[in-house]
Structure 1
Amino acid sequence: MSDIYNAPQAELAADEVNSANMGSIPKALAGDYQVNVGDTISEAWARTKGNKGTVWLGVLLYLVAYIGISVVATMITGQSITDPDANQGVGAIISNLIIVAASAPLGAGMMMIGVKIARDEQVSGTEVFAHFDKILPLAVCMILTYLLVTLGFILLVLPGIYLMVGYCMSIPLIVDKNMGPWQALETSRKAVTKHWFPVFGFLIVMLLLYVAGFLALLIGLIWAIPTLAIAYGVLYRNMFGGAESNPEV
């Protein structure tokens, strides 16, 4: 055979190797992934080059949209904008539910910015507005997470900590894998449970880096927030891989 056929074959072999090294739902559920905090943060830091603007645009759009949603929800439920402490009763509950439901896709979009950067996919800051078609399952997922984690904290605290960590990957599973709320929560919990303590350690390091950036006269957040957003995306990629159809869990 001519050498003209050798390059495509080599590229195909390389693609197969890269695909094999990617995470997937079956691999994640089997615990077939690694949580190396140092390597994850290092890769995320390297990937901030050329992507800080994308993350920060997403953050700014998220904040503007969240404030707008909060103001509208407060007004239509007859609550006070200037004195939030005076908001009580059914109106305050409805207002909070509207804010949770309407802002859930914004949070999913922020997470997916980090995920897509980690997977070398095209993404812009406007990703925060890309998932309003999933507003119902995302809102239900957030409400279930809040209720279950709160119940867990009431039951001797430790179950709440376990669930809070276990559910940390549920939101991107809904928009990236087209899962329902409960399926996403259980898939995240079952996968994280395989390496619960390393994931817990990863989240603690994320929190400490955020606090360090905040304490550095806020200037450190310029680098910390993009790094942390992408680090979350790297861990998600290592666990669940690329976008794919939803298999039964």
Structure 2
Amino acid sequence: MSATPNNQHGSLETAVAGQYDFTIGEVLSEAWARIDGYKLPYAIITSVYFLVYFIALVLVIAGLGEEESARAQAVIQLLSFAMMPMSAALTMMGLHMAMGRPITVKQLFAYYNSKGLAIIGLQIVMMMAIVLGLLLFIIPGIYLSIALMFAVPLMLEKNLSIIDAFEASRKAVTHHWFKLFGLLFVMGLILFLSMLPLGIGLIWTMPMMMAVIGVLYRRMFGISEQADSLLL
């Protein structure tokens, strides 16, 4: 868990103006270096995440029965909304990795508070925008699926509104959209290949994926010294 040079910190203003740059290789290299000391904690945290989801899913299905399959689908969708604060916490752990800060199981539940509804609201707005974009000749949806990748951490770390976080992410990413798409494509390929040997490689590549997001976010937007208070 190493410190970060100050010249690798961006800001909201410079990111939106497009005043940042990176190479795919250097981001992947730093993310790989950053997972040292995080593999076991992240494996435990993600295991808790999937266990909570599995238990909740079993309880939902057991409580409804086979004849209520249509209702079950709706309840399962609501369950996915209920898990969104946890998913946001996993993303924010990537920011912690990028700054060499600790991650814990407790942090997984950090956003079941006043921020939880805002997270769900932003995710719904993002999903609606992406689906609408996919319906409009597909390309706008693909564009937004990448352009909005930082909306949630921006809302949480910079205390932005839903609309401001949406727009800040979109504007900042647009300047280097193809490079970010390329980075995520390469990281996705690494994740896929790591699944082949019985999924053992995911022990390294899952935290690496979160570290990639964290490293990118730090280089583009910067991370304040008070960000520790977001994940207690």
* TM-score bin (small chain): 0.7 to 0.9
Does residue 65 (structure 1) correspond to residue 47 (structure 2)? The answer is: no
Contact in 2 for aligned 1:165/1:196 (Cα 8 Å):
yes
Structure 1 gap segments, 5+ residues each: 1-14
- Seen in structure 2, the aligned counterparts of structure 1 residues 56 and 132 have a Cα distance that, compared at 3 Å, is same
Question: Deviation at 1:20?
Answer: 5.1
User: In the alignment, residue 37 of structure 2 is paired with which amino acid?
Assistant: G
Contact in 2 for aligned 1:100/1:139 (Cα 8 Å):
no
- Cα deviation 1:201-236 (Å, max 9, x = unaligned): 111112111101111221111211121121111111
Question: Deviation at 1:105?
Answer: 0.8
- Seen in structure 2, the aligned counterparts of structure 1 residues 65 and 181 have a Cα distance that, compared at 3 Å, is farther
Larger radius of gyration: 1
Question: Deviation at 1:198?
Answer: 0.6
Structure 2 residue aligned with 1:169, among 127, 135, 150? 150
Question: Deviation at 1:22?
Answer: 0.8
Q: Distance in 2 between matches of 1:239 and 1:115?
A: 12
Q: Distance in 2 between matches of 1:31 and 1:118?
A: 21
Structure 2 residue aligned with 1:131, among 96, 103, 111? 111
Helix, strand or coil for the counterpart of 2:90?
helix
Structure 2 residue aligned with 1:30, among 12, 17, 21? 17
Contact in 2 for aligned 1:112/1:127 (Cα 8 Å):
no
TM-score, normalization by structure 2 = 0.87
Specify the alignment match of 1:196 in structure 2.
177
Question: Deviation at 1:197?
Answer: 0.5
- Seen in structure 2, the aligned counterparts of structure 1 residues 26 and 126 have a Cα distance that, compared at 3 Å, is same
Q: Distance in 2 between matches of 1:176 and 1:73?
A: 33
Structure 1 residue aligned with 2:33, among 46, 60, 67? 46
Q: Distance in 2 between matches of 1:87 and 1:104?
A: 23
Contact in 2 for aligned 1:111/1:229 (Cα 8 Å):
yes
Structure 2 gap segments, 5+ residues each: 227-232
- Cα deviation 1:13-49 (Å, max 9, x = unaligned): xx9x944541111011011112321111111111111
Q: Distance in 2 between matches of 1:72 and 1:150?
A: 30
Question: Deviation at 1:72?
Answer: 4.7
Does residue 181 (structure 1) correspond to residue 162 (structure 2)? The answer is: yes
Q: Distance in 1 between matches of 2:97 and 2:7?
A: 19
Does residue 101 (structure 1) correspond to residue 81 (structure 2)? The answer is: yes
User: In the alignment, residue 116 of structure 1 is paired with which amino acid?
Assistant: H
Q: Distance in 1 between matches of 2:168 and 2:55?
A: 33
Higher relative CO (CA 8 A, sep ≥ 6), structure 1 or 2? 2
Q: Distance in 2 between matches of 1:74 and 1:149?
A: 29
Q: Which portions of structure 1, spanning 4 or more consecutive aligned residues, are displaced by more than 6 angstroms?
A: none
Contact in 2 for aligned 1:48/1:227 (Cα 8 Å):
yes
Q: Distance in 2 between matches of 1:73 and 1:27?
A: 46
- How many positions carry a matched residue from both structures? 223
Contact in 2 for aligned 1:101/1:135 (Cα 8 Å):
no
